[in-house]
Amino acid sequence: MDIKNSAVGLALLAALLFGLNAPFSKLLLNDIPPMLMVSLLYLGAGIGIFAMRLFSRAAGSDKKEAKITKKELPWTILMILLDILAPFLLMLGLMMTTAENASLLFNFEMVATSVIALVFFKEAVGKRMWLSIGIITIASIILSIDWTASTFHFSTGSFLVLAACCCWGLENNCTRNMSEKDPAQIVIIKGFGSGLGAALIFFLFERTPISDIPLQALFFAMVLGFVSYGLSIFLYVKAQRHLGAARTSTYYAAAPFMGVIVSFIIFGTNVTPAFWIAAILMMIGVWLAVKENHSHEHIHEELTHEHGHSHDDGHHNHADGQTVHSNPDGTNTHTHVHTHETKTHAHAHNPDIHHRHSHE
């Protein structure tokens, strides 16, 4: 399996894990206030991935990855703040709308991520992708209308979920600028930074005594955080390194459909015909995004950076004067500062860390 297909597999697995978020969060919100839920979800993610890192090092299988430096500090701070705001908006939205409606609306995160990646980072958006964005936006509008009301109006819960998607779209692009760094370190920083930040806000402004909350609910919230935020984000960052922000978010769009299925199993909600129309449109939009093929002649400018890589992947045939030993898992991934020489060629590619050229 080549690197791109492996990255696609990681993105899809990340999507499946994140799909558990909405239905199980809605259940837990019966016992846990929204801001505390945010804290527990991210602390569960941070603690879980930190434990995985310790176990990996003890087993001698920890891969060499580039560490986050002061250069990434602004992106790190913005990432942490957005990871407090986005799930808080989601929790509020889940309290006002159904889990399957919120799950399906998660597809709008792909729209937000792609548009921000285009406007601010000049990632290419082709014709299929624009059509996908348009279809998913129309489906999101359909889902945001309260069809059960006697008068026409939009659902507040749906708007809160869409606002969360916009925050996550911006956060995805912050992570994009850190995707060549150690994914586990990124998740640990996200988990402890956002988790402790949300906990501070909760204890400062929330009057609900934590002693009134069942211990099993607190425990399950942290487990959900480890699975849906920790493992999911870890796999997402690994995939984004090779696929870019916009493309990774297209595969990650499988998460809403997983969430819808789980929501039906748990809640058995009767949905409106409008929901099924929106679901079909969402599937068409996601299919168009996945089928986009971006290929043209492009120039690789000379680039010096550091990230985990191996010398047999077709992009790192530099001579660094060092002997590369195999890792315990049979790979030869390692990290060091290296330089890519200028090169011009044409092939299908994604806006990954080696293909962030201008399309203007």
pLDDT in tens, 177-190: 777 788 888 889 99
**pLDDT (0 to 100) of residue 301:** 62
**pLDDT (0 to 100) of residue 345:** 46
Give the model's confidence band at 305: pLDDT under 50 very low, under 70 low, under 90 confident, else very high: very low
Q: What percent of the chain has pLDDT over 90?
A: 41
Note the pLDDT tens digit of each residue in 194-215.
999 999 999 999 888 888 999 9
Cα separation, 113 vs 129, whole angstroms: 12
Quick check: pTM over 0.95? no
Q: Residue 177 contacts by C-beta under 8 Å, 6 or more apart in sequence? A: 72, 75
The stretch 273-297 carries a mean pLDDT of: 81
Range from 3-12, 234-243, 287-296 carrying the lowest mean pLDDT? 287-296
Give the model's confidence band at 91: pLDDT under 50 very low, under 70 low, under 90 confident, else very high: very high
Q: Residue 219 contacts by C-beta under 8 Å, 6 or more apart in sequence? A: none
CA distances from 119 to 112, 282, 290, 321 (A): 11, 23, 20, 40
3 CA to centre of own chain: 19
Question: Does 306 score more than 60 pLDDT?
Answer: no
- DSSP structure string for 116-164: HHHHHH-----HHHHHHHHHHHHHHHHHHB-TTSSS--B-HHHHHHHHH
Quickly tell me which residue has 């984000």 as its tokens. Answer: 233
CA–CA–CA angle 332, 336, 339 (5° rounding): 110
Note the pLDDT tens digit of each residue in 24-46.
999 999 999 999 999 999 999 99
**pLDDT (0 to 100) of residue 228:** 94
Question: Does 309 score more than 50 pLDDT?
Answer: no
171 by Cβ neighbours in 10 Å (0-12 / 13-18 / 19+) ranks as buried
For 197, other C-beta atoms within 10 Å of its C-beta total 17
**pLDDT (0 to 100) of residue 347:** 41
300 φ, ψ to 5°?
A: -90, 105
Question: Does 257 score more than 60 pLDDT?
Answer: yes
Ranges of each domain in the chain = 3-297
**pLDDT (0 to 100) of residue 294:** 47
Question: Does 153 score more than 50 pLDDT?
Answer: yes
